Amino acid sequence: MVLEILTYPNKKLHVRSKEVVEFDDELAKFLDDMYETMISKNGIGLAAIQVANPIRAVVINLANEEGVQDKADLLELINPVITQKEDEIIYQEGCLSVPGYYEEVKRARKITLNYQDRNGEKHELSADELLAVCIQHELDHLDGHLFIERIGYNNRKKFDKEYRKNKKEKSK
Ligand code: QAP
Ligand code: CO
């Protein structure tokens, strides 16, 4: 089932998501719905809070070397915690909750994290480049943060101005 995505400036996007404690059929069904929702909207990453469920769960599905977004590469990160960050990368990010807006954000180039899968099994993962960027973007959602909070003062002023302008035009 494709779920509805909350968009900026919905205040629910700024809630801190809660740890997952039950790894049951309900969680499995919800993760399937998150994947379907992300794919239907042409996304590469989605956090549960973006579909109004404030739990610490994220799905990420990047394209492989052939440029194919293969479900076999789907990452489901439950209760993820970053334990190491190294180097810097500047990458142009977007977000399904801020449609049509893209801006450069500075993050760690390499990370290591611990997480659980849908069965509650614990894993450690090292990631770099786009995967590291995407994981950090999605983990920000779990703490109630959007990438527009990390684009610098001037870009943020420009964003707010454009956003207000678009809103006015839509209401005409
Ligand atoms: C986060 O974002 C991300 O504005 C995932 O009109 C993005 O999947 C991390 C999307 C880039 C790192 C780099 C955005 C789709 C998808 C839009 C997404 C849009 C349609 C965003
Ligand atoms: Co996002």
Dist. CA 42 → ligand 1 center (Å): 8
Dist. CA 137 → ligand 1 center (Å): 10
Q: Which residues lie at CB < 5 A from ion ligand 2?
A: 95
**Which ligand lies nearest to the CA atom of residue 98 in the structure?**
1
Q: Is 99 in the pocket of ligand 1 (CB under 6 A)?
A: yes
Q: Quick check: 60 and 75 in contact, CB under 8 A?
A: yes
pLDDT (0 to 100) of residue 164: 79
Active-site annotation, residues: 138
**Which ligand lies nearest to the CA atom of residue 133 in the structure?**
1
The secondary structure of 16-79 as a DSSP string is: PPBPP---SHHHHHHHHHHHHHHHHTT-SEEEGGGGT--BSEEEE----TTS---GGG-EEEEE
Q: Is 49 in the pocket of ligand 1 (CB under 6 A)?
A: no
pLDDT in tens, the chain (172 residues): 999 999 999 999 999 999 999 999 999 999 999 999 999 999 999 999 999 999 999 999 999 999 999 999 999 999 999 999 999 999 999 999 999 999 999 999 999 999 999 999 999 999 999 999 999 999 999 999 999 999 999 999 999 999 878 877 888 7
Q: Which of 157, 136, 158, 155 is nearest to 146 (CA)?
A: 136
Q: Which of 76, 2, 70, 73 is nearest to 37 (CA)?
A: 2
Dist. CA 146 → ligand 2 center (Å): 6
pTM: 0.97
Dist. CA 102 → ligand 1 center (Å): 8
Over residues 97-133, the pLDDT tens digits come to: 999 999 999 999 999 999 999 999 999 999 999 999 9
Q: Is 134 in the pocket of ligand 1 (CB under 6 A)?
A: yes
pLDDT averaged over the chain? 97
Q: Is 141 in the pocket of ligand 1 (CB under 6 A)?
A: no
Q: Is 60 in the pocket of ligand 1 (CB under 6 A)?
A: no
Over residues 131-140, the pLDDT tens digits come to: 999 999 999 9
**Which ligand lies nearest to the CA atom of residue 97 in the structure?**
2
